[in-house]
Structure 1
Amino acid sequence: MTTFTPATAEDVLATVQWAVADEAPLEILGHGSKRAIGRPVQTGHMLDLSKLGGITLYEPEELVLSARAGTPLAEIEALLAAHGQQLAFEPADYGPLLGGEAERGTIGGVLATNLSGPRRLKAGAARDHILGVHAVSGRGEAFKSGGRVVKNVTGYDLPKAMANSWGTLAVLTDVTFKVLPAAQTEVTLAIRGLLDEHAAAAMALALGSNAEVSSAAHLPYPVVTRLAEGHLGREAATLLRVEGFGPSVAYRIGKLKDLLKDAGPLEEISGEASPALWREIRDCVPFVGSDRPLWRVSMAPADGHRMVMALRMQTAVEAFYDWQGGLIWLSMAHGEPEADLVRAMIRKFGGGHATLMRASEAQRAALPVFESPSPALAALAARLKAEFDPKNILNPGRMAA
């Protein structure tokens, strides 16, 4: 395999133009931290963006940051933290989950995979914070879209179109994101010992209140024992995060305690323990260190626990709920993805979509890793692909056979 490691946007353009002329498909990656998600890409050449790094613009007062696509996310987060700011959508780090190293993700990969974290219900995902991109299409043409401010435009919103494209439409060379101030205070309220059904009801009650809960999760046994170095103990934990100014957080936590006083035993998690806990939930730490197939399921919150219970009647699974819009992580204990069963259960209990986040290369090659889109969305995706990459040069087969 030939590996190209461009250090400038001009180098990227020249490489893609060569690939188009020779009809030589390219696998696109930054540091490869999410390479094991999606179908295996069959190419003889790799475009490695790890040398295309560096923050090109940061204006804390304007809440805007630009960086080259290969810039490590850890470098960006450290700079923002030093200025009391953050990427509010909390992009996850899936390196360890996929058997790799932590903190290897790049800012270009964040947008290409549309990463988010437990704050998604409130803050959205990467696509909701992107302002502009510079990129090279599969036609071998450099283009830019968006800028440093949010504008309303007609036609395709190209920066958002790059989100969740997994490198199949264009090679990102530079991205501009909106950043936001970090919360002054964060406290997590834990309800202990709830069954999944009762936890779903408690989370719905809390999220529907005026306490402005920014994240909610439910960790059944034995998943709960694998977080916070085991300090959460063995009882199931239903977690509610509240963020903001200190007095406001204290008041809202008090409101939640009053609202949920009959739900079960309550305890507060504060200081560094709270953000550390949510980082572990974000990165799916309970299922790190295993090679079992892993699903990321999104469906209506009221139906999630019912689907999991019905699934457990037919196969052995472990699950926990990161309630950013009804998100469930499923670890398949028997070592088989059982894709037909999982997706049939989702359809039976209200519908949703499932992504196979971890599986062997053979399993990922044989199964639809991503949910099949509706006919209308499939037609739109096909038009976008024909417009941006008509020769199927970029990451061929990554998202669909």
Structure 2
Amino acid sequence: MRPETEEHVAELVREARGPLAIVGGGTRGIGRPAGERLETAGLTGIRLYEPGALTLVAGAGTALAEVEATLAREGQRLPFEVPDLRGLLGREGSSTLGGVVAANASGPRRIQAGACRDSLIGVRFVDGTGTVIRNGGRVMKNVTGYDLVKLMAGSHGTLGVLTEVAFKLLPVPEAETTLALAGLSAGQAVAAMSVALGSPFEVSGAAHWPGRGTFLRIEGFAASVEYRAGRLSALLSDFAAVERVESPWPAIRDVMPFHGRDGDVWRLSVKPSDAPGLAARIGGELLFDWGGGLIWALVEPGTDLRARIAPFAGHATRLRGSDTRIPAFQPEPPPLAAIAAGLRAKFDPRGLFNPGLMA
């Protein structure tokens, strides 16, 4: 099913007699939800774009590429640097704006600009009774229903079918430069990134790519970038020699080191200070982002990484792997699981949407 209007989505939900697998562009979904496929990619179109107000509203099925091209013509962008995971997951197709929200997809700039949910200011969606719900607004100052807007980001289609989303935007900076330090261990890299992120020099990317280097990005007005890069280089000189390099950020954003490689791929969100110790227990090949707060791991097929590194503070999500006995999402502690079940019961009382995906 591929409805082209919000009203048709609501009708299909009301008439559903069994589970529905909610799909956007099919480029970044985790797991294989059961049910009849309901695609939102027909809900297309930029409904409102006000460059002066840094605001965009679009149908949930609007192609991300179309949105990014429209914004680029006005010198603007989505703040959170959306990753393209098609190469990592072996997918094809076109990523949709609603799919980005459903996955809370956020790239290296998250450490400065926040995640997708932090730029999301409004949503429309159809709940499990077929009711259309609107929450939030079209301008940054409208915070009506703030919690519900944030709740839909990262819900992976388990609470409702997104039909429209609204974002605040940012201008594209005038200049960008990347500093690189070579030869650092995981512990040294996290220490260097922590120093950089704790400095006043407004670092917008901090990643460690073992074997390639530790990278720090600075963006802004050209004169400011030059000044801050020089000061940050001096600050980090005790760790290693600092040089300026071509941008590695698209490769880091899209986890390109693991493309076309055999093995399972896991994403761990942890305290940066815990990253070096966890790296030693994970094994496999690693990529560190968000100053060490995000670890990408490529491990042997069938590896239950949670069991290997338990106990640890944080959560681990398996994005790619064939052993269905291993849950894709981190099992929640009983109190949180009870809250999540209550939310699903409220918004999807018949259990239609992607059942079991995040349970």
Q: 2:310 aligns to what SS in structure 1?
A: helix
State the TM-score, normalized to the length of structure 1: 0.86
Deviation at 1:162, TM superposition (A): 0.5
Give, in angstroms, the shift of residue 383 of structure 1: 1.5
Looking at structure 2, the residues matched to 34 and 295 of structure 1 have their Cα atoms a distance apart, in angstroms, of: 14
Letter in 1 for 2:156: W
Partner residue of 2:133?
A: 143
Where does the alignment leave 5 or more consecutive residues of structure 1 unmatched? 225-236
- Judged with a 3 Å threshold, the aligned counterparts in structure 2 of structure 1 residues 140 and 208 are, in CA distance, closer, same or farther, namely same
Aligned residues: 359
Which digits, 9 at most, give the CA deviation of each residue in 1:123-149, with x for residues without a partner? 111111111111100111111111112
Which runs of 5 or more structure 2 residues have no equivalent in the other structure?
none
Establish whether residue 293 from structure 1 lines up as the match of residue 264 from structure 2: yes
Letter in 1 for 2:9: V
Partner of 1:230: none
Is 2:298 the partner of 1:336? no
- Cα distance, 1:329–1:266 mapped onto 2, change above 3 Å: same
Asked if residue 322 in structure 1 is aligned to residue 289 in structure 2, the reply is: yes
Aligned with residue 33 of structure 2, among 36, 41, 46: 41
Q: Does 1:15 align with 2:5?
A: no
SS of residue matched to 2:83? coil
Residue 307 (str. 1) matches residue 278 (str. 2)? yes
Say whether the 8 Å CA contact 1:320–1:329 is kept in structure 2.
yes
Asked whether the 8 Å contact 1:319–1:328 carries over to 2, the reply is yes
1:32 to 26, 43, 52: 26
Note if contact 2:194-2:291 (Cα within 8 Å) is conserved in structure 1. Answer: no
- 1:64 is matched with 55
Contact 2:304 2:326 in 1 (8 A): no
* Within-5 A mapping of 1:201-216: 201-216=191-206
Q: Which amino acid aligns with 1:238?
A: T
Measure the CA separation in 2 of the matches of 1:324 and 1:138: 39
Inter-CA distance 78–154: structure 2 relative to 1 (3 Å threshold): closer
Secondary structure of the equivalent of 2:269?
strand
Could you list the per-position Cα deviations for residues 263-299 of structure 1 after superposition, in whole angstroms to 9, with x for gaps in the alignment?
2122112xxx42xx21111111110112411110111
CA contact 1:291–1:358 (8 Å) conserved in 2: no
- Let me know the Cα RMSD of the aligned residues: 1.6
Distance 2:136 2:146 in 1: 11
In the alignment, what sits opposite 1:54? Answer: 45
Q: Superposition pairs for residues 366-377 of structure 1, below 5 Å? A: 366-377=325-336
The answer to whether the 8 Å contact 2:306/2:316 transfers is: no
The correspondence for 2:218, drawn from 242, 256, 268, is 242
Asked if 1 retains the 8 angstrom alpha-carbon contact of 2:120 and 2:150, the reply is yes
Structure 1 residue 336: Cα displacement: 2.0
Asked if structure 1 preserves the Cα contact closer than 8 Å seen for 2:186 and 2:279, the reply is: no
> Residues 114-133 of structure 1 correspond to what in structure 2 (within 5 A)?
114-133=104-123
* 3-state SS in 2 of match to 1:328: strand
Three-state SS of the structure 2 residue aligned to 1:17 is: helix
Q: Which structure 2 residues correspond to residues 189-200 of structure 1 after superposition, within 5 A?
A: 189-200=179-190
The question of whether the paired residues in 2 share the 8 Å contact of 1:339 and 1:367 is answered with: no
1:394 aligns with 2:356: no
What pairs with 1:263-278 in structure 2 (closer than 5 Å)? 263-269=239-245, 273-274=246-247, 277-278=248-249
Q: Provide the C-alpha distance between the structure 2 equivalents of 1:136 and 1:83, rounded to a whole number of angstroms.
A: 32
